[in-house]
Structure 1
């Protein structure tokens, strides 16, 4: 057996050992399970640009457990009475932000108390998600708000002309190449896209109004795209309290009537592959050792973003 083959076998054995060890050491004991049924608080993490898959320094796609999957696990988990949702996101995909908001709302309606803990940022789509909770806790310096919608693209027409390049387009309808980077938008196209932005914006405003129990008119006064610190957001009613993650945990315990120190149950924990592929390689290994295959897929995201 040559040196390369031996090296490959050693790496495989190491990975297998790490996976097996993680499966053994992450399983709660009987006493732990008993404890979880009485004072457990679930923790859901929403981090980074919503709906976008990042890559590590080697260019390998990184994945974090889908917030929606985490929320559904928490909803089905009979051992938790309350859930803390940690949000550290500047926003992202409009559609995904709406989906997360609706799932958090369903989680709340299932009878579990949902407390939002804002991190460095919980802006735009991140703020929309926060509106699904019972109580929003922000750090005084958290950047939040940014209620609005944006769609951008770059026009390379001038550069193409200088280089003598010309794009040839064959399309089935007049608007099929709308937003092409090699030409300006026509007035009709601008009207269509503005209509999309306006409708998406109205959905955002309605969600904030519903989640915060705030009149539409009041929301629109704040929904001009501006950002707020956590302290400013408290003054205008966008958040409920100031504090950090552990303050949010204490609030969740009190709201759920938990006595004593609560046990935190995370639905996203680093898996062994993070050692090889970076801290972004996260996942839940329950029932499978093949989560690494998800690294082969990259989610597409829409042009219109909440930010």
Structure 2
């Protein structure tokens, strides 16, 4: 007897699971990402028995996980926690093929980094449009808790919108690039009325329920005014908590009133700093080097474990031996070198950001990029040069008709010179200009047989 085929249960989130997390639930997400999700889900959510292939995460759950490896990256004593893609409440998705990252997984990484004695600071590497509202506030509290023990710097590389910004707002500092997108402090809830689609397919759903509000917000019909009001009130509650959270993390730089005044807009680079949503412009590499050069702990200025030379004749004065002194000097030199490099990288990033972020750069982006990356101009000098240059003229591209003017048609007469001879003459003039031949000799015809230039002889054949 043939054994029946057994299909393993799918693992990971399917499109149905994603739809359940997106539709009819408050989201702290950039509206552009919501549109993308709705476009992906449109027409792909089966109404019958059709199944969809699951999206399998790249990481297993953390609870009970037995592994000697870290759950986060470490570089020179700095723990790096990446917050990338759409954010969901539960699950251990870090770099999942579905593009999901979970608050649960991020909390585990932060907890491990805070407990690791070799980690003296933590970087949040953010590139996320946001995600689910539920779960974000608990993770933000975890960031604030860890930041009380170790420096936590949020580097926006290159988006921290909505829920992602809520997380970043609780860090010790928020660093952006000149093109970082920051903000979207708001809440969105999407409802799909699929009654027209179902009617076109001849499907008429019937909802049998107990409890007047049990099926509020179902997709089989339009929202009533009462249900719409209830959902709006729910969104308002999440919004109040969101702006309060941001104000708690940013303090005087971004109060709750200022957060509301943004009306969920996003801001780029320097404007985010001007609005109080970020602290400074720099690069991921510069921030990493700066954190690596700093001693562990808050307010600690001296290295631990290395005896430093003392002065005085009293019994408390103890001179270190030669090896210890050499070690102290070597460590001091290395620390100074690293600090100098970090400072130089920071100043360079700030200079580039000031040039590219100026209004004058918008009128001449090509020249602005040249001044920022190819010269040592200060921001003031670069802006002065951009002002003098004015707005760059749009490049003039000749039409096909203009480029073809004066050229012989295929199979037609080329006049005094054949098309091949005309091309040969043009090629010769170009070679003469490169070789430095006088201008008056560039257009002189040379008989094919006597022409010393092999390229022209080849073209004349």
Please give the alpha-carbon distance, in whole angstroms, between the structure 1 residues aligned to 2:159 and 2:144. Answer: 21
Partner of 1:50: 87
- 1:163 to partner: Cα distance: 2.6
Tell me the residue number matched to 1:269: none
Q: Distance in 2 between matches of 1:219 and 1:227?
A: 11
Instruction: Say which is worse superposed, 197-206 or 252-261, in terms of deviation.
Output: 252-261
How far the C-alpha of 1:162 sits from its partner, in A, is 2.6
Q: Tell me which residue corresponds to 1:79.
A: 118
Q: Which residue is equivalent to 2:77? A: 40
2:137 to 98, 117, 139: 98
Do the aligned partners of residues 251 and 133 (structure 1) sit closer, same or farther apart at CA in structure 2, a change above 3 Å counting?
farther
Distance 1:106 1:167 in 2: 48
Q: Taking structure 1 as reference, are residues 135 and 251 closer, same or farther at Cα in structure 2, changes over 3 Å only?
A: farther
Deviation, structure 1 residue 261 = 5.0
Partners of 2:282 and 2:164 in 1: how far apart? Answer: 18
Report how far residue 90 of structure 1 moved: 0.5
CA–CA distance in structure 2, aligned partners of residues 221 and 254 of structure 1? 38
Following superposition, which runs of at least 4 residues in structure 1 exceed 6 angstroms of deviation? 61-65
TM-score, reference length from structure 2: 0.45
1:156 and 2:156 equivalent? no
Q: Deviations over 1:126-146 (max 9, x none)?
A: 101101111100111011101
Equivalent positions of 1:1-307 (< 5 A) are 40-51=77-88, 56=97, 66-109=105-148, 111-213=149-251, 214-222=254-262, 224-253=263-292, 256=295, 259=335
Larger Rg over CA atoms: 2
Query: CA contact under 8 A between 2:181 and 2:266: conserved in structure 1?
Result: yes
TM-score by length of 1: 0.66
Query: What are the superposed Cα offsets for residues 70-98 of structure 1, whole Å, 9 maximum, x if unpaired?
Result: 00001111222211111111000112221
**CA RMSD of the aligned region, Å?**
2.8
Q: Residues 94-151 of structure 1: CA distance to partner in whole angstroms, max 9, x if unpaired?
A: 1222122111111012x20111111121111010110111110011101110110001
d(CA) in 1 for partners of 2:101, 2:247? 32
Task: Tell me the equivalent position of 2:317.
Answer: none
> 3-state SS of the aligned residue for 2:154?
strand
Asked if the contact 1:116–1:248 (Cα under 8 Å) also holds between the matched residues in 2, the reply is: no
Structure 1 residue runs of 5 or longer lacking an equivalent are 1-22, 28-35, 263-307
* 8 Å Cα contact 1:118/1:137 also seen in 2: yes
Q: CA separation in 2, counterparts of 1:225 and 1:217?
A: 12
Q: What is residue 395 of structure 2 aligned with on the other side?
A: none
- Unaligned stretches of 5+ residues in structure 2: 1-66, 296-300, 304-334, 340-461
